Amino acid sequence: MRIRQGAVDCVQKVGRSAGFTLLEVLIVAGLIGTLLMIIIPPFFRHTERMRVLDAEADILEMHVDIAAYMVDYMIPPDSLAEVRFGTRRDPWGNPYQYLKILENTDPGVNGKRRKDHSLVPVNSDYDLYSMGPDGKSKPPFTARDSRDDIVRAANGGFIGPVSEF
């Protein structure tokens, strides 16, 4: 009988100490929350940087194909569709923007050209860019909507974010 009573006492003790107190649960939740606050922001910065690099690689690929087109025809194509990029979208889901400048007789072209911080056009042949994460853009690089754009500038001498030009 004595052995049996000891087993019952042991089961009762285990039953009482098997759960967690509210304080223990709150401490663990706080630790997990703190760890997530440390880990998540760098992850999103890394993800955004990878999107920028993808857009730069896409623009470089299009730049190379447009250069090959220009070797054959001596002028830039009228649209990205002529060099197989008509449906290509940037990493944020927006279509890439293209504007033929060289030999373009449309009088509205000058107002649409991309311009640097001194409002000087950045390309003399064609503009090619992604509108960036916000999906908005305006011709001057100084505009708030243009700061996150990924651009081809200096006639292909620069490909990257407007903020780094």
pLDDT tens per residue, range 57-108: 999 999 999 999 999 999 999 999 999 999 999 999 999 999 999 877 777 7
Q: What is the pLDDT of residue 49?
A: 92
Confirm whether 121 is domain-assigned.
Answer: yes
- pLDDT band per the 50, 70, 90 thresholds, residue 42: confident
Confirm whether 7 is domain-assigned.
Answer: no
Q: For the chain, list the strands marked E by DSSP.
A: 97-100, 126-130, 150-153, 158-161
CATH number, residue 53 = 3.30.700
- Which residues are 97's β-sheet partners? 129
Tokens 């009988």 correspond to 1
Question: What is Dmax (Cα atoms) for the chain?
Answer: 106
User: Quick one: average pLDDT of 124-129?
Assistant: 95
User: Quick one: average pLDDT of 44-66?
Assistant: 93
Residue span of the structural domain in which 153 resides = 23-164
